[in-house]
Amino acid sequence: MSRTRRATPSTGSAITSSPWVVVAIGVIVMVVLLVVALGSVRGRRTFPASPTDPAMSLPELPTATATSPSVTGGPPSTAGRPVVPGLSPRSTVLPARPTPAVSTGGPRGEVRPAPLSPPPPPPAPPSAVTGRYAVVSSFDGGFIGEVRLVNAGGAAHGWTVRLTFPQGRLVTAWVEGAEQGTFGFDGGVVTYRSGVDLAAGASVPVRFHLERTGTTRPESCAVDGVTCAGL
């Protein structure tokens, strides 16, 4: 009886028949190579270490002053210039104009301020003619009033009498025993102006016939702007 020998499968045929074994072996080899490469890279530096670069220092620019022109050729900068309260450096408000000056015409061309305007003249003194108001007579619907004028000055003076009533009308007016003047009535105001000046020390009555005034007492009475007595 002949002995038959069973053929055992070889290692190469086993690997060929099982492709996943080949893939696993390849993966293991790649992992090992990757670990070895990482270890060698960490053990040495690829590039030499460079010294720390010093910080770059920039040149200092000159500070702009009030008299230095700007870079663009514009007007001088206003930096450092005191600012007037209430006005911006670019304000368009013009400064106040100085007092005009005039040249004296001297050899050196001296300039002096223009002279100020003269002060107003003093007010005129009050008239020497004064008046006193009184009622001569009254009747139903009207009355006759009187302003007695006296010139206490040393020279003759003209005069003007004014009476004001709230209502009514003027019938007539006259100067008793002297040359007549002119009179009028407008807006409740009776006005009588002298025809001739009143002599120094003289006295004369000016009388008025008024109706429907409602009162015999005027709201105002004046001779040349001076209030009459007797009110």
pLDDT number for residue 20: 75
Confidence of residue 69 (pLDDT cuts 50, 70, 90): very low
228 vs 104, higher pLDDT: 228
Q: If you average pLDDT over residues 100-128, what whole number do you get?
A: 67
Q: If you average pLDDT over residues 167-171, what whole number do you get?
A: 95
Q: How far is C-alpha 171 from the chain's CA centre?
A: 57
CA–CA separation, 132 vs 196, rounded Å?
20
Statement: residue 3 has pLDDT above 60: no
Q: Which two tokens stand for residue 26?
A: 């390849």
pTM exceeds 0.75, yes or no: no
- Number of Cβ atoms within 10 Å of the Cβ of 150: 17
CA–CA separation, 30 vs 42, rounded Å?
19
CA–CA separation, 102 vs 128, rounded Å?
46
Q: If you average pLDDT over residues 210-220, what whole number do you get?
A: 95
**Of 59-63, 69-73, 192-196, which range is least confident?**
69-73
Q: Which two tokens stand for residue 91?
A: 């304000």
Closest CA to 138 of 214, 230, 59: 214
Percentage above 90 pLDDT, the chain: 43
Q: Which residue type occupies 166?
A: P
Helix (H) or strand (E) run with residue 189 in it = strand 189-193
